[in-house]
Amino acid sequence: MSQKLAPSIRVTFPLLALSLQCIIIVLFALFVKYSEDSPNKYDATYPVFQDVNTMVFIGFGFLATFLKRYGRSGIAFTMLLAAFALQWATILEGLLFDFKESKIQISIISLIHADLSAVSALVSMGAVLGKTSPVQLLLMTILEVTCFTVNKWLLDVLLQINRKTSGMYLHLFGATFGLMVSRVLQRSGLKSGHEKEGSFPISDLYSMIGTIFLWMFWPSFNAALLDTNREKAVFNTYYALAACTVAVFAISSQVHDKGKIDMVNCMNNVLVGDKYVITMPRYNKLVLFIHKSLVA
């Protein structure tokens, strides 16, 4: 962060962050209560929550170290935004989906929903990392988590798309929102490139560690909110990621000028397989119907 911005950040960031945190504490005190889930459900769901939590804070944290001058900022801002987003998302999700007897019911499932909402903000952060201050990132997180949660509610009410399928579109929503914010922050006269935009081998290494964490825990991410067919979601995601990884390494070597494996390309593409698994289940019956029709 430049010294020119430091004085204003020193005042506005603590004031904004502490004010928002105090507001959330008051809202929790007034409206939040524990749900009465059975111990068996807690025991079955908590390990999945821990997997998703690891993805959010460690996976996305190390993934955000891809810029050579913003490695520590990437990890720190990931923790900051995720910690704030999951609290704000808990309030919004509770008001729209779990508001009973004038209280917000929280459970392990609501924590997972909050983590998923935080992921959308972290995806957007990747598009604006290095060009935004902590104040701007906090404001972006407030707006995005609000829009994402309202979007889930509208899809549930208008199109009967259950919010448990939010994994289908949270990446698209986060990427689109991040590009919109980046476009708003763009100023005329700025160069298309920047000396700090590149990466160092050590930043690529740390970012690859984040990719591996995401790779390891993504099966739990896809199956976290499912009531049925959770095992199938884990199996399909795991093998889709494995097949995608082999294909990405092979294609990376084939398209490289010197026949080498480009770790930057691999890092960006080995997780593509899970997006297919997230998106396709709703169309599996249609695909099977077409296949049976052709065979018949």
* Listed ranges 50-54, 62-66, 67-71; the one with the highest mean pLDDT: 50-54
pLDDT exceeds cutoff 70 at 114: yes
Identify any residues that bridge with 34 across adjacent strands, giving them in sequence order.
106
CA-CA-CA-CA dihedral for 125, 129, 132, 134, to nearest 10: 70
Model confidence at 6: pLDDT above 90: no
pLDDT value of residue 14: 92
Residue 52 CA from chain centroid, whole number: 10
Give the orientation angle of helix 39-54 with respect to helix 201-223, to 10 degrees: 160
Q: How far apart are CA 287 and CA 285, in angstroms?
A: 5
Identify the residue with better confidence: 55 or 253. 55
**Strand 32-34, strand 103-106: pairing:** parallel
Q: Does residue 128 contact residue 140 with C-beta atoms inside 8 Å?
A: yes
Percent of the chain predicted with pLDDT > 90: 35
Q: Quick check: 165 pLDDT over 90?
A: no
Quickly state the pLDDT bin for 70 (edges 50, 70, 90): confident
Domains in the chain: ranges and CATH: 6-201 (1.10.3430.10)
Residue 280 predicted with pLDDT over 60? no
pLDDT tens profile 116-149: 999 999 999 988 888 888 999 999 999 999 999 9
Tell me what the mean pLDDT of segment 230-234 comes to.
Answer: 84
Q: Is the pLDDT of residue 2 over 50?
A: no
pLDDT at 113 over 60: yes
**Rounded-to-integer distance, Cα 235 and Cα 239, Å:** 6
